[in-house]
Structure 1
Amino acid sequence: MRDGSSTRKRLERCALTLFVKKGITATTIKDIAQLAGVAEGTLYRHYESKEELAKQLYLDAHASISAQVKESIVGDHNIQHKIKIMVHFFCEKYDEDPILFNYLLLAQHEQIKVLSENEMTAHDIVVLIFNEALRKKEMPKRDTQLCAVVLLGVLLQAAICRVYNRITKPMLDDSESLTQVIIRALELTHDS
């Protein structure tokens, strides 16, 4: 009996590529199967539908990235250093797999609805980090929701510019500049 895991991975990769290029709605099972070099029915051995595939891809990627973000900032670092770590992490992960990150960016508005209520989004994690910084008096009193918007907005816009080829260099090349922009925007340039 053949191991279907390599076929499943190929189907997932092809689906990600097409979902980013054409959108989930415009991508057909036939498109995915054709790109993967398999029969259309093969997809149904692994997923009930294209929508289930899209949902599972989002959930798996979201869970993995969230866990890695949390792990990356463990330690007794001040808020400026945590921002630097998060920015570097995001840039590095984007460059490692731009198709996956582009899928997360482009599908988030629809797919975020599939997260359970107790699953934390990137925004939730960043808010917790800013709340901790406030508690430790590492920054002036601020709306931590807005702080998260600033941090994520800068990062997401830098990524979106790459989706549309407005910026073509690797995201990691901009890591330090993005970090400084965020720190300045949040007025964290000197000890608070």
Structure 2
Amino acid sequence: MSSDSPQAAQEPDASGDAGPPPSLLALFTAFAKMSLAGFGGVLVFARHAIVDQHRWMTAEEFNETFALCHFLPGPNIVNLSMVFGSRLRGIAGGVAAFAGLLGPPTLIMTALAMLYAHFGELEPLRRGLAGVSCAAVGLLIAVVVRMMMPLLKSRDAIALVLMLGVLAAIGVMRWPLQTVLLVAIPLSIAVTFALRRKVAA
């Protein structure tokens, strides 16, 4: 297969850089598809589209970008659309990704909200929503496992210890999220800088 084929253009090169950035229409369409497919959450479909399907980011780059979006105000996936779109196509790219992510679902949810206002008390509908919630949890667990794979493959023991520490503090000890982050973020940054300086030396 020649190097200028469409498939080759989408493959990251040896340095990890992706091919040409997508057009504004491609960004809008991709995020619109993510949002329309995102039953139970868009993160699963966003990672699949960005990393596996279009190869606009590596798995490590996606994890780093999503980690940044966790510490910005607002919903994580909305932050991701703006940061990702802006990274590839500037402010216009951020707006295109943002519009694709929120535009179609907003129209659909407005119509469904009107229907739910009239039929929301029906027992079959309540049971159906309970089943959907179970599927949503399964999707979330699946994407968390996939996002952990780069850490496991790199065998970065420090990163794994920090991750497990945050999980234990929030999920087991039930400590306040803000308190855990105020400790975990500076600690993880300090450890990363120290390790990189040691390697450079």
Normalising by structure 2, we get a TM-score of: 0.29
Relative to its length, the structure with more helix (as a share) is 2
Larger Rg: 2
TM-score (norm 1): 0.30
